[in-house]
Amino acid sequence: MALLLGDSDPLALVEGWPCDVPLINFEQALELSVFRSGLSRADWLKRLAEQLHKPQLLPLLWLLPRPWKLAPAQLPGRLQALGGLLERSLLTPALLGALADDLPHLWPEAPAEANDALALWSSEGGAGLPQQLDLLLNVTTDTPEQLLPAPAGSQLSGGLLWHNAGLSHEQSANARERNRVCAQVLNRLAANRLGGDNWSIDGCSTSSAWLKHLQERGWQAQARLRCSVASFGLGASLPLENGSWSQVPLALPIRCGLLGRDGQEMRSLLPHSCLELELSGGDALLRLQYYQGTEGLCGWEALNDLERPWQNNRCNGTVRYLGETYQGERLQQLAELCEVIAMVHNQEASDRHLLRGGYGALGFCIDSSALIQQVMEGRCQLYPVLMGGIWRERLIKRAAQLEREAGCWLSPYREALLALPHDGSLHGVAATEARARMLLCQPRSSPFALIQQLSAEAPPGSP
């Protein structure tokens, strides 16, 4: 397959990758948008900089091609330091780890109540949540099925749009709403560990008991750790003359701090990782994900991603599943572990008033997946693991406190925090092991040329 752009572009695409929607390289889309607008590149970038007060556009600082980088002076004051870091090069795991403490402060200030991870986790005490499965399965929404119009200011001259126009979701709007409510139900069951009102659904007051109840009713239930290319929800598309849309695959490239076979530093695409839970019974299908996320808590969220065939398709190799498939009793054990991790992390985030529920400081999504696998399987296949040492110490101290107060058994969790690697600086055996983990977390198939190049680094016979 020939490259559309030179190897220096970490988001270059390859020709001929099978996809049912038209794809265009990000840099080509930028150039075409400027050409259509009649603006100079400098004026176009000035308009872009004026939009960067929107949190959803922050990843653009990271992934703009080098000739298009915004100078720090062009950025809002709170972003100038980050812009300086990204002006000439890609982030590394070491820099990501160093930024973790300050990452929440790059987001706009939110009301104090929005930073209470425990309140979000407990879903305001469970008021309004269905307490029977049948009621949950009858949840509907008034949200129209079609994509909503683009918000004001989301389109730059030249037609480049900061979302993937023309794509759809795999599930209906009603099914996605049921996913959302089911995630709240699991979080509220987990919050019973805090004491107080003992909320229940179908007579079950823990997530493990409810999952067992569903399986006894004939439901199929399984969970798997997964990785896919991260874009923090950011998408882009460009209109075609025929009225359809060309999609712009986006990803967040990083320098790995590891040498490849050619003696050059390896680059990869930052993964998004989560625990994927699928519940199916009759015609009903519920899909959830568990992770430490930017939503403001550690816990369950709906798995309602827009279908991006280059990023999150379960069947074409763009989603990578790791480790064990959890079912039956193992799934029930896993559910208890998820409750424990969420209890510790959300308590720490609330007591310290951490923005975004401690996202970054208490780990990224990858770190929460790594914790799960370390406890359940005694190994870690995730990369990069970046939870800092001081936050591990604080979480260990928090776990010991909760173990005394709530009578929870948290030793496996504390041992996992001690056992997990840290990928900020690697050499020797640690570098060899991290290289294997990095390759495992990249897609099996991808339109990004970088992924094609990384496949040559994998040892023969590797999964």
Residue 19 pLDDT exceeds 90? yes
Q: Which of 61-70, 104-113, 392-401 has the highest mean pLDDT?
A: 392-401
Q: Judging by DSSP bridges, how do beta strands 237-239 and 245-247 pair with one another?
A: antiparallel
- What is the pTM assigned to this prediction? 0.91
pLDDT classification of 154: cutoffs 50, 70, 90: low
Provide DSSP, 84-149.
HHHSSS---HHHHHHHTTTGGGGSPP--GGGG-HHHHHTGGGGTT--SSHHHHHT------SSPPP
Task: State percent of the chain over pLDDT 70.
Answer: 89
pLDDT recorded at residue 105: 54
CA atoms within 13 A on the CB side of 298: 30
Phi, psi (5° rounding) for residue 383?
-155, 140
- Round to whole Å and give the CA distance between 230 and 431: 23
pLDDT recorded at residue 418: 96
pLDDT recorded at residue 91: 78
Structure tokens at 28: 């080509």
Measure the CA dihedral 65/68/69/73, to 10°: -170
pLDDT recorded at residue 148: 45
pLDDT recorded at residue 104: 53
Q: What is the DSSP letter of 296?
A: S
Q: What is the DSSP letter of 356?
A: G
Residue 385 pLDDT exceeds 50? yes
Length of the chain: 463
- Round to whole Å and give the CA distance between 207 and 20: 39
pLDDT recorded at residue 102: 61
pLDDT recorded at residue 353: 87
Residue 84 pLDDT exceeds 90? no
pLDDT classification of 59: cutoffs 50, 70, 90: confident
Please name the helix (run of DSSP H) or strand (run of DSSP E) that holds residue 247, with its range, or none: strand 245-247
pLDDT, average across residues 5-13: 72
What are the pLDDT digits (tens) for 340-365?
A: 999 999 999 999 888 888 898 899 99
Residue 152 pLDDT exceeds 50? no
Residue 252 pLDDT exceeds 80? yes
Residue 454 pLDDT exceeds 80? yes
pLDDT, average across residues 75-96: 72
pLDDT recorded at residue 112: 57
Q: Which of 2-16, 157-171, 210-224, 415-429 has the highest mean pLDDT?
A: 210-224
pLDDT recorded at residue 1: 33
SS3 call for 427: coil
Residue 237 pLDDT exceeds 50? yes
Radius of gyration of the chain (CA): 22
Q: How far is CA 339 from the centre of its chain?
A: 19
Task: State percent of the chain over pLDDT 90.
Answer: 61
- Across the chain, mean pLDDT equals 88
What are the pLDDT digits (tens) for 254-304?
A: 999 888 888 889 999 999 999 999 999 999 999 999 999 989 999 999 999
Structure tokens at 228: 């896919």
